[in-house]
């Protein structure tokens, strides 16, 4: 039938991002020309999409020429990795300009030929949603012939019956709009715009489908660092492991989420997460001419590190914006035996106990080489754990929250005294008026680069994961910007503060290698050590 157009029965599973220039692939055809509209997907993603419709087989006997117009093809690297990911929850984030929004819009395309597909994309507000809807209108009608957008409901309806609802989720109680709904795929654009994890966690309960549908259950999100939800997103996706590595999902306490007791799968981890970072340079459409990069380079430092470098260790309103993993985190090394070592601790039973160990280099640099972060541990048991970790070391002294010397009633030893009796010796930390601000200022000073050594005055072994995660996330107190927010997770920070205040900086040239007395003498006339 000369001049007729051949309709495609269905689309192959699709994944993609930014529309690329059209590529044409040609073959022989005897009678007429045909154009297929397809969305190219990573091969890895095809295994998880369930049943799909196949394109008609084309042979040289039937066709003279076939043209395939590639509507969308993901950029190599993180964009392809995101669209091929099989973990239940995936965050695609980092710097601005990495093609995140296009990826989120393209990901559902693979399911539009499945009549059981029920999908949802949310933004924080309706105004922010308009941009996503605009992007979807560029891609979906070309990729899915016959698909329609219902303006009133903000819903895409495919010829197969599959639907994608594009909506907003402003306040926590907005989740009730989705009560009773079931989705196989949910996407959050700019996840850090949600101040807490409430919406994300609740919407996980909306993931539901039948085994017969062949559909996986996925939650997908995009985000840059920063925003009101920076801390919880970082704790959920960034801190648990290295980028691009799948890991078992953890709860707010950092514990792996498992099947409950009594279940046939009791104790088994529930599902996996992954964080896939991307930067401007992963998107050739924006990075080639250098104009967008120039704009990002002109931003203030904290914004530049967030949006250009995709640095999750800096957040506007953070108490210690100078902390930089590339500068302050080092690989563990053998600490010389003659370097002084000491420890500091902040104890809590109901919350957490944080303990950090320091070594003092000859140039007075502090090396935080070990940490302990535990909850619901008795003080005496904590003493046993500490002593076991230190069994082969010479710890000069320990400094502990002074409140632990408070007597419990009229009689009986204090918690600090109980630990000391077991052999875990301490001196009380400085908690005098103004000590919190002084300790914060001292840590700022330590994080700076020393003009003589050209090294930071404090570094952290990369095995101190809780310290590295918490320190850059600590927010300032809104009512007292000279201090950190005491309602935040600050137990490790308090231990750091207690420790560094026992080693105030002195002049580098005052160092005496024979006496090792540089600003602080470890012995104490009251406690004898």
Q: Tell me the HSE value of 411 on the side-chain side, using a 13 A CA sphere.
A: 0
Residue 221 reports pLDDT greater than 60: yes
Tracing tokens 């819009």 back to the chain, one arrives at 105
How far is Cα 362 from Cα 258, in angstroms, rounded to an integer? 47
Question: What would the mean pLDDT of 366-384 be, rounded to a whole number?
Answer: 95
* pLDDT greater than 90 at residue 498: yes
**Which helix or strand (DSSP H or E) is residue 484 part of?**
strand 480-484
Higher per-residue pLDDT: 468 or 295: 468
* Mean pLDDT computed over every residue of the chain: 78
Give the pLDDT of residue 341.
95
Tell me if 75 sits within 8 A of 174, measured CB to CB. Answer: no
**What pLDDT is stored for residue 19 in this prediction?**
38
- The answer to which of 12-26, 53-67, 431-445 has the lowest mean pLDDT is 12-26
The pLDDT of residue 124 is 86
**Each residue's pLDDT tens digit, 321-352:** 888 888 999 999 999 999 999 999 999 888 88
Q: Are 143 and 11 in contact (CB under 8 A)?
A: yes
Average pLDDT, integer, range 203-221: 90
User: Which residues, in sequence order, are CB contacts of 464 under 8 Å at separation 6+?
Assistant: 356, 368, 369, 370, 371
Q: Would you say residue 239 has pLDDT above 70?
A: yes
Could you tell me the two tokens for 442? 């001292």
Measure the CA–CA gap between 105 and 116, rounded to whole angstroms. Answer: 19
* Residue 222 scores a pLDDT above 70: yes
* Residue reference for tokens 């420890």: 343
Task: Kindly state the average pLDDT of the residues 235-263.
Answer: 89
Is the pLDDT assigned to residue 182 strictly greater than 90? Answer: yes
Q: Are 52 and 114 in contact (CB under 8 A)?
A: yes
- Confidence at residue 397, expressed as pLDDT on a 0 to 100 scale: 93
Q: Which two tokens stand for residue 240?
A: 């648990």
16-20, 33-37, 213-217, 453-457, range with the lowest pLDDT: 16-20
Q: Angle at Cα 99 formed by Cα 133 and Cα 141, nearest 5°? A: 35
Domains of the chain in sequence order: 78-297 (3.40.50.300), 329-510 (3.30.420.280)
Contact 401, 344 (CB under 8 A): no
Q: Based on the number of CB atoms within 10 Å of its own CB, is 252 exposed (0-12), middle (13-18) or buried (19 or more)?
A: exposed
Mean pLDDT score, 166-175: 85
What would the 3-class secondary structure string for 377-406 be? CCHHHHHHHHHHHCCCCCCCEEEECHHHHC
- pLDDT tens digit sequence for 44-70: 443 333 333 344 444 545 444 444 566
Residue 247: per-residue pLDDT: 95
Q: pLDDT class for 7, splitting at 50, 70, 90?
A: very low
Q: Could you give the C-alpha distances from 27 to 68, 450, 497, in angstroms and in order? A: 10, 67, 71
Phi, psi of 137 (to 5 degrees): -70, -20
Q: Which residue has the tokens 């875990």?
A: 424
pLDDT of residue 460: 97
Among 260, 278, 262, CA closest to 97: 278
Where do we find the tokens 């509507």?
71
Query: 16-30, 209-223, 413-427, 439-453: lowest mean pLDDT where?
Result: 16-30
What mean pLDDT do residues 278-286 have? 59
pTM of the model: 0.57
Q: What separation in angstroms does the CA of 18 have from each of 72, 105, 407, 467?
A: 6, 10, 66, 38
C-alpha count within 13 angstroms, C-beta hemisphere, residue 496: 28
List pLDDT tens digits, range 128-138.
888 889 989 98
- Rounded to whole angstroms, how far apart are CA atoms 244 and 393? 37
For 70-113, how does the pLDDT look when each residue is reduced to its tens digit (9 = 90+)?
A: 666 777 778 888 989 999 999 998 655 446 888 899 999 999 99
What CA–CA distances, in Å, run from 510 to 362, 430, 516, 517? 11, 25, 10, 9
């Amino acid at each position: 039938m000369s001049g007729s157009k051949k309709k495609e029965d269905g689309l192959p599973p699709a994944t993609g991002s930014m529309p690329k220039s059209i590529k044409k692939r040609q073959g022989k055809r005897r009678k007429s020309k045909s154009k297929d509209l397809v969305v190219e997907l990573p091969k890895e993603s095809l295994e998880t999409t369930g049943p799909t419709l196949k394109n008609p087989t084309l042979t040289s006997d039937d066709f003279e020429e076939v043209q395939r117009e590639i509507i969308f093809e993901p950029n190599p690297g993180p964009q392809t990795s995101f669209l091929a990911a099989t973990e239940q929850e995936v965050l695609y984030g980092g710097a601005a300009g990495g093609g995140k929004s296009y990826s989120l819009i393209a990901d559902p395309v693979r399911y539009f030929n499945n009549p059981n597909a029920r999908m949802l994309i949310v933004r924080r507000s309706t105004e922010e949603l308009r941009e996503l809807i605009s992007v979807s209108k560029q891609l979906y009608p070309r990729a899915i012939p016959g698909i329609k957008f219902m303006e009133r409901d903000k819903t895409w309806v495919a010829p197969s019956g599959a639907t994608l609802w594009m909506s907003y989720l402003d306040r926590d109680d907005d989740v009730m709009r989705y009560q009773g709904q079931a989705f196989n795929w949910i996407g959050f654009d700019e996840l850090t715009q949600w101040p807490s994890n409430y919406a994300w966690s609740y919407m996980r309960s909306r993931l539901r489908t039948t085994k017969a549908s062949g559909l996986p259950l996925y939650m997908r999100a995009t985000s840059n660092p920063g925003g009101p939800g920076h801390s919880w997103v970082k704790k959920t996706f960034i801190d648990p492991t290295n980028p691009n590595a799948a890991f078992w999902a953890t709860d707010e306490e950092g514990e792996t989420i498992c099947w409950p007791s009594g279940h046939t799968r009791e104790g088994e981890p529930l599902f996996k997460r992954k964080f896939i970072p991307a930067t401007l340079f992963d998107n050739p459409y924006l990075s080639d001419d250098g104009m967008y990069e120039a704009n990002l380079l002109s931003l203030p430092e904290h914004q530049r590190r967030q949006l250009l470098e995709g640095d999750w260790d800096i957040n506007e309103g953070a108490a210690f914006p100078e902390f930089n993993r590339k500068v302050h985190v080092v690989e563990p090394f053998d600490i010389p035996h003659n370097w002084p070592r000491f420890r500091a601790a902040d104890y809590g039973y109901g919350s957490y106990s944080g303990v950090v160990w320091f070594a003092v280099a000859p140039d007075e640099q502090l090396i935080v080489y070990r940490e302990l972060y535990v909850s619901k541990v008795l003080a005496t048991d904590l003493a046993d754990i500490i002593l076991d970790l230190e069994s082969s070391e010479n710890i000069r002294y320990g400094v502990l929250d002074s409140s632990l010397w408070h007597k419990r009633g009229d009689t009986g030893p204090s918690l600090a005294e109980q630990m000391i009796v077991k052999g875990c010796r301490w001196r009380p930390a400085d908690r005098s008026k103004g000590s919190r601000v002084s300790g914060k200022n001292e840590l700022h000073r330590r994080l700076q680069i020393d003009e003589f050594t050209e090294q930071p005055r404090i570094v952290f072994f990369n095995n101190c994961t809780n310290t590295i995660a918490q320190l850059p996330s600590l927010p300032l107190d809104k009512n007292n910007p000279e201090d950190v927010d005491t309602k935040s997770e600050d137990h490790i920070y308090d231990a750091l503060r207690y420790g560094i205040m026992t080693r105030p900086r002195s002049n580098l040239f005052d160092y005496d290698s024979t006496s090792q007395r540089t600003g602080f003498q470890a012995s104490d006339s009251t406690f004898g050590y």
